Structure 1
Amino acid sequence: MLIALNKPFGVLCQFTTNDGRPTLADYVRQKDVYPAGRLDHDSEGLLLLTDDGVLAHRLTDPRHKQPKTYLVQVDGALNDEALQALRRGVVLNDGPTLPVVAEHAVEPSWLWPRDPPVRFRKNIPTSWMSITLREGRNRQIRRMTAAVGFPTLRLIRVSIGAHALDDLPPGQTRILAP
């Protein structure tokens, strides 16, 4: 079984916690499934869950290099130099990243409001970009955009390999064909 969840902001990628924060158990009704990968609590979008260990390994192991695409809202007016740096790969404190596909994007018309909203500053614009990568270090996109001078404000995963978020509403699940 393979399940897509549109993980809302603030939800932990685990089924239990002792501190009362929202978890996957609040959104996923199927039993005996586990996340294939993860999204930080402050990231949103596509999370795949499965009961098949081989499939989970194929989806998450870096050797299989599944492309993951994200829409990213950043602080500031994104420039071509920053995109070029991301495309070449940037050096983080844990070493250089692989090059990514990075493009300017517009705020999608289908985007749901975030709760709480992204901060708004009257005199500082925000920009959107699309980033596709094939590795998955801890908070990698946030660290990469910060390294090129554009801190991430909102991060939404829209696809993993052939599996896409499409029109799945936040907090909802959909059964997928593996």
Structure 2
Amino acid sequence: MRDRHLLFYKPYDVLTQFTDAASEGGASRRTLKDYIDVPDVYPVGRLDRDSEGLLLLSNNGRLQHQLSDPKFQHPRTYWVQVERIPTEADLIPLRQGLVIQDYRTRPAKAELLVEEPSLPPRDPPIRFRKNVPTAWLEITLTEGRNRQVRRMTAAIGFPTLRLVRVAIATLTLTGLELGQWRDLTSEEMTTLRKACKI
């Protein structure tokens, strides 16, 4: 079986799995099966149901391990809409690493975006509060624990309203529409293999 590597622009409210075991007897939730009809590929890492953005799927176990295991420190970049507008000083704990739950995060790159990124509207839209401004951050992690970005922004007092992953290692959302997938190009694959040393 030849290797397959897919990029998918995951919409909000889609589970990062092909089946929904919890839906038996209840309302069914959207899964990857609603968008991708390629057999035997599996998500590399997770993206929460209430998050959007880039998801890599592969049938290559070695590549999955390299990109998923935090010890390899492959970067993941997110655009994060938060409540209120953080200052440079507010972002320092993200850049230094902070304690959330029972662990200390690795230092992250964190920048305030000057302009709102060009993204498709979220369905449903985030809650709008007239008296509470929002801002967009770009955060790059080299680890990916459960709900880590949300916990990090909450810990510094700026709750996450919308979270979109825009890059995994050398791969980006560029050229993908919401809900669309495509195979990696040979050039993307070569660059990714170099980054993963495989």
TM-score normalized by structure 1? Answer: 0.97
| Identity within the alignment, % | 55
Q: Name the amino acid aligned to 2:179.
A: G
2:12 aligned with 1:12: no
Residue 194 of structure 2: aligned partner: none
Displacement after TM superposition at 1:46 (Å): 0.3
Q: Name the amino acid aligned to 2:117.
A: P
What's the CA shift string for 1:21-59, capped at 9, x where partnerless?
000000111111000101000000000000111111111
Residue 72 of structure 2: aligned partner: 64
**For 1:90 and 1:160, how far apart are their aligned partners in 2?**
22
User: Secondary structure of 1:107's partner?
Assistant: coil
Higher mean C-alpha displacement, 146-155 vs 54-63: 54-63
Displacement after TM superposition at 1:10 (Å): 0.3
Structure with larger RCO (C-alpha < 8 A, sep 6+): 1
| Larger strand percent | 1
**For 2:14 and 2:20, how far apart are their aligned partners in 1?**
11
Displacement after TM superposition at 1:167 (Å): 2.8
| Larger helix percent | 2
Which 4+ residue blocks in structure 1 deviate beyond 6 angstroms? none
Higher mean C-alpha displacement, 166-175 vs 119-128: 166-175
**Aligned ranges for residues 52-131 of structure 1 at < 5 Å?**
52-105=60-113, 106-109=115-118, 111-131=119-139
What's the CA shift string for 1:81-122, capped at 9, x where partnerless?
22111111111112111110000112112x100000011100
User: Secondary structure of 1:122's partner?
Assistant: coil
Unaligned segments of structure 1, at least 5 residues: none
Count of paired positions: 177
User: Secondary structure of 1:141's partner?
Assistant: helix
Residue 170 of structure 2: aligned partner: 162
Bigger radius of gyration among the two: 2
Q: Name the amino acid aligned to 2:87.
A: N
What is the root-mean-square deviation of aligned Cα atoms in Å?
Answer: 0.9
Displacement after TM superposition at 1:77 (Å): 1.4
**For 2:173 and 2:6, how far apart are their aligned partners in 1?**
11
User: Secondary structure of 2:111's partner?
Assistant: strand
**For 1:59 and 1:96, how far apart are their aligned partners in 2?**
21
2:158 paired residue among 150, 157, 165: 150
Displacement after TM superposition at 1:61 (Å): 1.2
TM-score normalized by structure 2? Answer: 0.87
